[in-house]
Amino acid sequence: MDKIKNLSLKKTILLYLCVSLICSFLLSALVGGIASEVQQQIWWKYVDQEQYIQAEAGENSNYTVRIPRPSASRMSRWDHQVSELCDFLETYSVLLISLAGSGGAVFLFYRNKLKPPIEELGRASKMIGENNLDFQVDYTNKDEMGQLCQEFERMRRQLVLNNQKLWRTIEEEKALRSAVSHDLRSPLSVLKGYLEMLEEFRKAGILDQEKEGEMLEASRKQVQRMDQFVDMMAKLNSLEQRVLKPGPVIAKELEQEIRQAFTALGRDKQLDFHISENTGDFLGDREVILEVAENLLSNACRYAEKVIEIDLSVTSRELKIRVKDDGEGFQKDKEELTKAFYQQNIKDSLKHTGLGMYISRLYCEKHGGSLLLENDQAGGAVVTAIFRKLSH
């Protein structure tokens, strides 16, 4: 049966027609025989049966005896009509039954071979027209219609992939635009902090040239960072395309830059910074590492009560930045916190895009590391950014 189901359309219609013609021939022979027998029974009533029996007894090879056809005037009206019908069936039964058999073969061919795939394709076309691709073309025969359904199913899967790719592209572009805004916010916040400090010191009359020079130099570095970042992001279509630039990262220099950022971002907080390990120069993208550090520091400044602890560990193979605050800690699923555009509360959405943790996680993973989020047993949130050594 499976072989018959998988026959081509041409072979299937030929098979249906051959079977129908054979059945039609047998059936017409049976109908003709029955009609002849009925007709003989009618004629038998109108012959001299004794004379016929005597003639049949003398039958030999020179002649045969047949029941003669009585004239219409001798037969009753009913017998005459039945006899004429038998004549008609004997003459035209082959033609009529063959036509009926061919029609039946065509009907069965359409019902079994064409109707199911046509209905399946019609249903699929309607769902695609309604922008609903959550279905499957279910027709398993291996004939031409089955191949057509398979091609339709491949087209549907490709449409799903194209839609997913388009949606992913839109999301990436949205994330990229928000990331540009987010990553510019950190250096801008630092610059804003320095300006506020300069204004406070100027009003108080305690601003010396050395302190002013330090603030101006730190501000110049932040402006340079923004300029480099804008040039780089203008060439990207997504964050994943950012190319890391390996270079030496020295623990003391990184500590100094983080302290400068904290001076502007967390002036009302206390910083407890220490380097737990410094056994060699690390090879990595300094800008990416500094961006992640500033993201974690900015996040900690928002939720810390009084103290922020930063632990820096640098080896030749790995760099870790551990930031702990004395706030309430993480209240929700930590995986949700690293998704794009996540805000922990409604007030965050007024000032923050919800991309800090997402970008930090993405940059850590691009650097071969990871971003770990946990709650400290004594209270507060702990975020650890891990970076692996890059190759030249």
Helix (H) / strand (E) containing 335: helix 334-337
Q: pTM of the predicted model, to two decimals?
A: 0.46
What pLDDT, on the 0 to 100 scale, is given for residue 352? 45
Check whether 25 has a pLDDT greater than 90.
yes
- Entry field: residues in the chain: 392
| pLDDT tens string 107-133 | 999 998 889 889 999 998 898 888 888
How deeply is 250 buried, as exposed, middle or buried, from its count of CB atoms within 10 A (0-12, 13-18, 19+)?
A: middle
Average pLDDT for 139-167: 87
Lowest mean pLDDT among 14-28, 35-49, 81-95, 254-268: 254-268
What pLDDT, on the 0 to 100 scale, is given for residue 385? 95
Give, as one character, the DSSP assignment of residue 282.
E
Average pLDDT for 207-226: 74
Q: How far apart are the first and last CA of the chain?
A: 65
Check whether 157 has a pLDDT greater than 80.
yes
Check whether 277 has a pLDDT greater than 60.
yes
164 CB-side CA count, 13 A: 8
Q: In sequence order, what DSSP letters do the residues of 203-228 get, joined into one string?
A: HHT---HHHHHHHHHHHHHHHHHHHH
Q: In sequence order, what DSSP letters do the residues of 49-104 get, joined into one string?
A: HHHHHHHHHT-BTTB---PPPPPTTTS-HHHHHHHHHHHHHHHHHHHHHHHHHHHH
| Cα gap 201→80, rounded to integer Å | 132
Average pLDDT for 155-180: 80
Confidence of residue 348 (pLDDT cuts 50, 70, 90): very low
Average pLDDT for 280-299: 89
Average pLDDT for 88-100: 91
Average pLDDT for 334-339: 68
Confidence of residue 52 (pLDDT cuts 50, 70, 90): confident
**388 to 282, 312, 314, 372: CA distances (angstroms):** 9, 14, 10, 14
30 CB-side CA count, 13 A: 7
| Cα gap 325→302, rounded to integer Å | 9
Mean pLDDT, all residues of the chain: 82
Check whether 350 has a pLDDT greater than 50.
no
Average pLDDT for 16-41: 92
**216 to 202, 205, 221, 229: CA distances (angstroms):** 14, 17, 9, 20
Rg (CA), the chain: 47
| Cα gap 157→149, rounded to integer Å | 12
